[in-house]
């Protein structure tokens, strides 16, 4: 079965008139299944005792333009290594590395459903979902990027204008619209996107009283999985219900980690939440893939972050790191993945190599 991409005028009568599926009005009764999201909110609400708080030493030095203190009066920055940037306590919740499988990343067989998650914003989730997706499509895999972020950056980054589609992930999650009806082709062969708009922000709240609120995406995804080799779910920068939907629908979690200050902050919280989803909603879920992003080879810190992440996550960490390049950050405004925007740039090569590594090569 192949995905049908519907035209604008093919919506069902029911959708056109805004009628809703009767099941949508269902509300949760006391004692409904697992309240994973509730547990997560609780977990999020106790920052004081948080063992994975960023150690002071992870704080970025002041940026000179933003600072009102004359440069001469500011204390000289202490090198990261001397400040004990990567203290063991950051990793109290992180499992010990599993050295048993050697140090090379081991690709899983397709179809693969991967949630690209990290509750921090700006770490390269969307950039990785879009460009890894494009790299995989170039190899010949059929790839679907699901935009679960109300910012819709994966949507626009793949050249889809919000005015050009009528059904989005909001409809899929809140109105039980079929996912296949929301899928749009991109300018790249084999690469599709299920778009998001700002409406999706409302779903975070509107989902709260609905039945099976954590499993909306998983149910919607079932029918399209056979159509794709890779489904990459671009999660928003939070651990709310939308992200829980992404995690509950995936088999694997891909965590982009920015090789920068604060890189490790919050990672323990993410892993705890993955564990919560795994034990309550989706036992297959596993963090399988760590991608180091925005790597600046000129800084010692990037190297230290990369080393520390490898020590703890072993062969889950992809050997190919993504460099920080201006071209990567320019590509989204042209609605193109870097592999199409500037095919021979360092960023394009890095994402292409990453796609080979993650997939094991040929399709």
Question: Is 294 among the residues that bind ligand ADP (CB under 6 A)?
Answer: yes
Window of 87-95, 124-132, 137-145, 177-185 that interacts with Mg ion by CB under 5 A: 124-132
CB of 329 to ligand ADP, least distance (A): 4
DSSP secondary structure, 93-160, as one string = TSPPP-GGG-SS--PPPSSEEEEE--SSTTSSHHHHHHHHHHHHHHHT--EEEEE--TT-HHHHHTT-
Sign of the dihedral defined by the CA atoms of residues 149, 227, 229, 283, in that order: positive
CB of 214 to ligand ADP, least distance (A): 22
Residues 296-318 as b/e (b if ≥16 CB within 10 A, e otherwise) read: eeeeebbebbbebbbebbbbbbb
Q: How far apart are CA 257 and CA 264, in angstroms?
A: 8
Question: Is 124 among the residues that bind ligand ADP (CB under 6 A)?
Answer: yes
Number of residues that bind Mg ion (CB under 5 A): 4
Question: Is 168 among the residues that bind ligand ADP (CB under 6 A)?
Answer: no
Question: Is 125 among the residues that bind ligand ADP (CB under 6 A)?
Answer: yes
Question: Is 125 among the residues that bind Mg ion (CB under 5 A)?
Answer: yes
Question: Is 335 among the residues that bind ligand ADP (CB under 6 A)?
Answer: no
Q: Using CB under 6 A, which of 51, 121, 140, 361 touches ligand ADP?
A: 121
* Burial class (CB within 10 angstroms; exposed 0-12, middle 13-18, buried 19+) of 75: exposed
Looking only at residues 25 through 84 of this chain, which bind ligand ADP when binding is defined by CB under 6 A? none
Looking only at residues 137 through 156 of this chain, which bind Mg ion when binding is defined by CB under 5 A? 149, 153
Question: Is 122 among the residues that bind ligand ADP (CB under 6 A)?
Answer: yes
CB of 147 to Mg ion, least distance (A): 9
Look at residues 48, 95, 118 and name the one whose alpha carbon lies nearest to residue 262. Answer: 118
Query: Which residues of the shown chain bind Mg ion in the complex (CB under 5 A)?
Result: 125-126, 149, 153
């Amino acid at each position: 079965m192949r995905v049908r991409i519907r035209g604008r005028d093919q919506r069902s009568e029911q959708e056109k008139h805004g009628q809703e599926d009767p099941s949508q009005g269902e509300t949760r009764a006391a004692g409904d299944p697992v309240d994973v999201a509730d547990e997560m909110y609780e977990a999020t609400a106790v920052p004081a005792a948080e063992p994975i708080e960023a150690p002071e030493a992870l704080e970025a030095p002041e940026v000179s333009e933003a600072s009102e203190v004359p440069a001469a009066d500011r204390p000289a920055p202490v090198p990261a290594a001397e400040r004990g940037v990567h203290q063991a306590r950051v990793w109290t919740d992180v499992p010990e590395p599993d050295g048993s499988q050697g140090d090379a990343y081991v690709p899983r067989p397709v179809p693969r459903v991967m949630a690209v998650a990290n509750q921090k914003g700006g770490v390269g989730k969307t950039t990785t979902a879009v460009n890894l997706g494009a790299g995989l499509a170039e190899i010949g895999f059929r790839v679907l990027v699901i935009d679960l972020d109300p910012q819709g950056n994966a949507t626009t980054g793949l050249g889809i204008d919000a005015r050009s589609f009528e059904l989005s992930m909001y409809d899929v999650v809140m109105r039980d619209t079929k996912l296949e009806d929301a899928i749009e082709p991109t300018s790249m062969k084999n690469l599709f996107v299920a778009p998001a708009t700002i409406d999706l922000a409302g779903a975070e709240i509107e989902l709260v009283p609905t039945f099976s609120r954590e499993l909306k995406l998983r149910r919607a995804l079932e029918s399209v999985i056979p159509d794709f080799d890779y489904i990459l779910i671009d999660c928003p920068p939070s651990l709310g219900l939308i992200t829980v939907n992404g995690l509950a629908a995936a088999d694997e979690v891909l965590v982009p980690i920015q090789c920068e200050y604060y890189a490790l902050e919050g990672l323990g919280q993410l892993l705890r939440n993955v564990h919560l989803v795994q034990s309550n909603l989706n036992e297959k879920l596993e963090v399988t893939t760590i991608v180091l992003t925005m790597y600046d080879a000129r800084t010692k810190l990037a190297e230290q972050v990369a080393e520390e992440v490898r020590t703890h996550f072993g062969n889950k960490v992809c050997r190919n790191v993504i460099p920080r390049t201006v071209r990567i950050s320019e590509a989204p405004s042209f609605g193109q993945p870097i592999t199409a925007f500037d095919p021979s740039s360092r960023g394009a090569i890095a994402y292409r190599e990453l796609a080979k590594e993650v997939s094991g090569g040929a399709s």
